[in-house]
Amino acid sequence: MKRSIEIIKFIFLLGLMAFLFSFSKKRNDARKINKLDVEFVDENSPFITYNTVNKLLIQNHDKVTSIGKETLVLKKMEQRLRENPMVRDAQVYVSVDGTLGAKIEQRKPIGRVSASPDYYLDADGKKMPLSDVYSARVPIITGTSKNSFNEVTPLLLKIENDEFMRSSVVGLNEKANGDIELELRKVNFKVLFGKPENIEKKFQNFKAFYKKTKQDSTLYGYNMVNLKFDSQVIATKK
């Protein structure tokens, strides 16, 4: 008899807990979203505006505060954001205080392809449209590289991650034989980089050449600087 009473109590308590949980969940779901919090987790300047993110999230609703929690489908929201050509990844969540949050990782342009119309090449080696909001300061890509980016993407990534090269290189042209020619800021000569191989070694050679010729005031007296050979720099005077 005593055991039966204990079982009945246990079932009652279990039912009570289930009722309270269900009641609490229904009340929570019935609450409205009270604000939107959008965070760009990358270091890029915004290529997509807050208002654009807001519209992608709320869709057919007038404003975020008119959305009930029970109507939210976070995966669909994330999908809409990821389908935007400026977005690389997105995470959407709802906090306990009724905040609809979105963490946005934008795509990162590393080059701008000269075409009709122009477009960016991103860090994943994929095409990325230009933004109406912000124009990235990246090298202009011309030549046969416009048809295949497998060769130039590693070089552009190295340029992006090297402070000196990033501030110096304004253009990249791939010739028919696969050699790459760099165009620099503030100097008149071109840099024949050759194939995108031994990139860091070639960077070191060029930096040493640049430093030395700038110190002895001969930097602007050259027409072409050839980095095709790993062990030396061949410079052609004007």
Q: Where are the domains of the chain?
A: 32-106, 109-237
| Residue among 64, 159, 164, 84 nearest 128 (CA) | 84
164, 211 in Cβ contact below 8 A? no
**Cα-based distances in Å from 150 to 87, 144, 145, 147, 223:** 22, 12, 9, 10, 29
Same CATH topology for 32-106 and 109-237? no
More confident residue, 123 or 7: 123
- The beta strands (E) that lie in 81-221 are given as 87-94, 99-106, 109-113, 119-122, 127-128, 140-143, 169-174, 180-184, 190-194
Summarize pLDDT for 141-194 with one digit per residue, the tens.
998 765 568 889 999 999 999 999 999 999 999 988 889 999 999 888 999 999
Residue 147: exposed, middle, or buried by beta-carbon count in 10 A (0-12, 13-18, 19+)? exposed
Summarize pLDDT for 72-98 with one digit per residue, the tens.
778 888 999 999 999 999 999 888 777
With cut-offs at 50, 70 and 90, classify the pLDDT of residue 27: very low
CATH number among 3.10.20, 2.60.120, 1.10.150, 3.30.470, domain 32-106: 3.10.20
Q: Residues of the chain with pLDDT > 70: what percent?
A: 78
CATH number for the domain whose boundaries are 109-237: 3.40.50.11690
Structure-token pair, residue 153: 């993407």
